[in-house]
Amino acid sequence: MVNRKIAPPIKDAVEFDLRLKPYDKYVLKNGVEVYAVNAGAEEVIQVEWVFSAGNWFENQNLVAPAANFLLKNGTSTKTAFQINEHFDYYGAALTRACYNETASIALQGLTKHLPKLLPVVRELLTDAVFPEEELALYQQNNKQRLEVNLKKNDFVANRLIDEYLFSFDHPYGRYSRFEDLAALDRDSIKAFYDKYYRNGKCILFVAGKLPPNVFELLEQNFGDLPLHANEPEKVIHPVISSGEKKFRISNDPNGVQGAIRMARHFPNRHHPDFFGAQVLNTVFGGFFGARLMNNIREDKGYTYGIYSYLQNHIQQSAWMVSTEAGKDVSEATITEVYREMEILRNELVDDEELMLVRNYLMGSILGDLDGPFHIIGRWKNIILNDLDEHYFYDSIQTIKSITAEELKALANKYLVPEDFYELVVV
Cβ-Cβ contacts under 8 Å for 164 (sequence gap 6 or more): 173, 241, 242, 244, 245, 247, 263, 421, 423
Q: How high is the pLDDT of residue 17?
A: 83
This prediction has a pTM of: 0.93
Determine the residue type at 393.
Y
Nearest CA-CA partner of 142 in 97, 96, 179, 192: 179
What is the rounded distance in angstroms from the CA atom of residue 169 to the CA atom of residue 333? Answer: 31
Say yes or no to pLDDT of 141 above 80: yes
Q: How high is the pLDDT of residue 368?
A: 87
At 232-291, the pLDDT tens digits run: 777 889 899 999 999 999 999 988 999 999 999 999 999 999 999 999 999 999 999 999
Q: 3-class DSSP state for residue 188? A: helix
Percent of the chain with pLDDT over 90: 91
> Average pLDDT, stretch 7-16?
76
CATH of domain 246-425: 3.30.830.10
CATH of domain 19-222: 3.30.830.10
CB 31, CB 228: distance < 8 Å: yes
> Average pLDDT, stretch 77-81?
96
> Average pLDDT, stretch 31-59?
96
> Average pLDDT, stretch 60-67?
98
User: Is 19-222's fold the same as 246-425's?
Assistant: yes
Say yes or no to pLDDT of 8 above 80: no
> Average pLDDT, stretch 21-44?
96
Structural domain spans, the chain: 19-222, 246-425
Q: How high is the pLDDT of residue 3?
A: 83
CA atoms within 13 A on the CB side of 229: 13
Q: How high is the pLDDT of residue 6?
A: 85
At 336-383, the pLDDT tens digits run: 999 999 999 999 999 999 999 999 999 999 988 989 999 999 999 999
- Number of Cβ atoms within 10 Å of the Cβ of 165: 22
